[in-house]
Amino acid sequence: MAASSLSLSWASTTISNKLNVPHLNEALQPTSLPTTNTLKCMRGATIIEESHHNRRALLLGFGALTATLFPSTSVLAQEKPKNYEAFVDLEDGYSYYYPADWREFEFLAHDSAFKDRYMQLHNVRVRFIPTDKKDIHDLGSMEQVITDLVTKVYSSPNQEATIMNMEERSEDGKNYCTVEFRLESRNFAVDSFATIAIANGRYYTMIVVANDRRWKKYRNQLKVIADSFKVMDI
């Protein structure tokens, strides 16, 4: 894919069904939802698809579990933000918060995804691919890594990409980088946060997307999702 033109304005930051906890699985059942595809996916990954009921996560209120039940899961040890729910995938080693009124859906080649019930372009998606790297800094300079991610993975040849902000953070010995960017074509624009991390021999990417016209109103809500993304050892 040809890289899009890029204008830089850098600024110097549900528990999974795979867990198979009997009393939780009896109380909660996964919801089957249609597949949607609105943005290009990362290239070069081989994804092994499993059945919906084996792969998809259960929607679970944070209050149903305690940190003592899953002491290794840092998201469960924190106070859940108001009006958000926790998604925790202990088998694949990641977690994040999503708005409580969003619903799960399937997105091609992604491991988990949730979207707004009414504004369906507003969504969060997570995927991962194998890597021999141990940390995101092993990929190279973060400026170049993020530029390549935005222009060669998330944007199409007919879109102009603008990187507005990039932030790095470190938690529990894991490093993360989150980028805020806009993709514009002739008649349409979307804004996004993307967060990357490496753990367990996997390169994880989360993207949170919204229509450009609504970005200013919902940006802070979506930033909570991007900042909540964490990986854990499995």
- Contact by Cβ (8 Å): 114, 87: yes
Q: Which of 33-37, 50-54, 97-101 is the least confident region?
A: 33-37
Q: What are phi and psi of 195, to 5 degrees?
A: -120, 135
Whether residue 19 is contained in a domain is answered as no
Beta bridge partners of 127: 205
Q: With a threshold of 0.85, does the pTM exceed it?
A: no
Q: Going by C-beta distance under 8 Å and a sequence separation of 6 or more, which residues neighbour residue 93? A: 199, 200, 202, 231, 232, 233, 234
Is the CB of residue 112 less than 8 Å from the CB of residue 57? yes
Residue 14 lies in a domain: no
Question: Model confidence over 150-196: pLDDT tens digits?
Answer: 999 999 889 999 999 999 999 999 999 999 999 999 888 999 999 99
Residue 198 falls inside a structural domain: yes
**77 belongs to a structural domain:** no
Residue 185 lies in a domain: yes
Residue-wise pLDDT for 69-110, tens only, equals 444 455 555 678 899 999 999 999 999 999 999 999 988 889
Q: Please provide the distance, in angstroms rounded to a whole number, between the alpha carbons at the two ends of the chain.
A: 34
CA–CA dist 168, 84 (Å, integer): 23
Q: Which CATH number belongs to the domain containing residue 215 in this structure?
A: 3.40.1000.10
Identify whether 189 is part of a domain.
yes
The whole-angstrom separation of Cα 6 and Cα 163 is 8
Enumerate residues 6+ apart whose C-beta is below 8 A from 187.
none
The count of structural domains within the chain is 1
For 158-187, b where at least 16 C-beta lie within 10 A, e where not — what string? ebbbbbeebbeeeeeebbbbbbbbbbbeee
**Domain presence at residue 33:** no
Domain that holds residue 214: 84-231
Q: How far is CA 190 from CA 22, 46, 64, 155, 205, in A?
A: 41, 27, 35, 10, 18
Residue 191: inside a domain: yes
